[in-house]
Chains A and B, each alone.
Chain A
Amino acid sequence: MKIGILGVGATGARAARQLVDAPEVTSVVLAGGRRDRIKSLTASLPDHGLAAADPLDAGVDGLILAGPSGTHGAVVRRALEAGVPVVSTSDAPEEIEAMLSLSSEATERQVSVAVGAAFAPGMSCLLAAHGAQGFDELDEIHVARVGAGGPACARQHHDALSGTAIDWRDGGWQERRSGSGRELVWFPDPMGARDCYRASLADPFVLVDAFPGVQRVTARLAANRRDRMTARFPMLRRPPAEGGPGAIRVELRGRVDGRTAVAVFGAIDRPAVASGAVAALAIRRLVRGESRRDGVGGLAAMFEPGPFLAELSERGVKAAVFEGSHGAPDLAESVQGR
């Protein structure tokens, strides 16, 4: 299996390292980005790494797009013409919406394209799909995330707080102001509670596509006062090569046996590490023909969530479930804990 990676930033490099560990992957073709970075990454992948100007010309079996958002749509069109399955890690809402609109063409050509294959959207979609199996009827999905991967992800994060947030409500899209709707969200430990706000995020597009009957889908991004205040200005500081630990939280609301039920899932990891692992697993599955359908879709629509999450867990990207109790906390236990 020969896999191409276009974009060798924090996420692309992590995806390459994940791919060389897979027995069926014989070579990884790297392109896009600084030449010195491609050279050093190629050298660090003995017997696997190859550099190329254009992975599609190099005859790859599958392609991961890990470059900055806004560059993926044109490559997806070329890959569809070449019949090559693609995984896109873009989290730009307009770009994901545009790529989803190519679904009928991809279905016609019998090619699969997985979009939003990162931490959120990406792993968040798999958690939503996994959790949805426990509901008779799923009404609401609420996603929140904290942290950014590489510099391109940090810029997207910055821009997301100044754009227009899109929520899905009762069968229609609703535009809301980014930076509004503060909500205190509890992420898995040790991330803990963070204030999260509406932002221009892509999660609702891929989730509504995967769960057509859902009534509400929202996405929020953790931010502090400085993030919100500077969101409408250019980034004042160069973003770091890679951000610190991040987390995602997915809350599902629906009905089980006629009663309202809530389920909460989450994960904590470095966003670039998790995104690289998700993208690498997704492209291997697409090339092996293990997608649920042809066409363009998010991970919830394209893959069985259980086995995917289990393989992610084996690779160190672990999911968690929040188990709440409805009674008062056990006083004896809390006293013992002091």
Chain B
Amino acid sequence: MTLLRRALVALGVASFIAAVLRLRGTGGSPPQGGGWRELSGPELDG
């Protein structure tokens, strides 16, 4: 019973940390779609 309780607590803590990192992390998600666009003259003036 103690082992089960400890395992549940560990799982809960791990889930909480994962949720915090998922919500507050600044890495963002990689692009899910998109495409290549040719760089045009005005963009290269800078």
Interface residue ranges, A against B (CB under 8 Å):
130, 133, 188-189, 258-260, 262, 265-266, 305-307, 309-310, 313, 318-330
Contact = CB atoms under 8 A, between A and B. Distances in A.
A322 B38 CA distance: 9
A327 B43 CA distance: 25
Given A133-B46, A307-B44, A322 B36 contact: yes
Contacts of A313: 39, 41, 44
Given A133-B46, A306-B44, A313-B44, A323 B34 contact: yes
B32 interface: yes
B24 to A, nearest CB: 12
Contacts of B26: 258-260
B33 A262 contact: no
Interface string B7-35: 00000000000000000001111111111
Contact of A318 (B32, B35, B38): B38
For the complex of A and B, 7 pairs with smallest distance between CB atoms: A324-B31, A324-B34, A310-B44, A329-B33, A306-B44, A320-B36, A319-B39
B30 to A, nearest CB: 7
Interface residues of B, number: 19
B37 A323 contact: yes
Given A260-B27, A313-B39, A321-B39, A327 B32 contact: yes
Given A188-B36, A327-B33, 9 more contacts: A259-B26, A260-B27, A262-B31, A320-B36, A322-B37, A324-B33, A325-B31, A325-B33, A326-B32
A262 B31 CA distance: 9
A326 B44 contact: no
Given A318-B38, A320-B38, A321-B39, A328 B45 contact: no
Contacts of A318: 38-39
Contacts, number: 72
A310 B34 contact: no
A130 B32 contact: no
B36 A325 contact: no
A207 B18 CA distance: 36
Contacts of B32: 324-329
A321 B29 contact: no
26 contacts: A130-B44, A259-B26, A259-B28, A262-B31, A265-B39, A306-B44, A306-B45, A307-B45, A313-B39, A313-B41, A318-B39, A319-B44, A320-B37, A321-B37, A321-B43, A322-B34, A323-B35, A323-B36, A323-B37, A324-B31, A325-B31, A325-B32, A326-B28, A326-B32, A328-B33, A330-B33
Contacts of A130: 39, 44
Nearest to A312: B44
Contact of A306 (B27, B35, B37, B46): B46
Contacts of A328: 32-33
A240 B34 CA distance: 35
A58 B27 CA distance: 56
Nearest to B35: A323
A320 B39 contact: yes
Nearest to A305: B44
B18 to A, nearest CB: 19
A310 B35 CA distance: 21
B39 A189 contact: no
A188 B39 CA distance: 12
Contact of A310 (B28, B38, B45): B45
A164 B45 CA distance: 38
Contacts of A259: 26, 28
Contacts of B29: 326
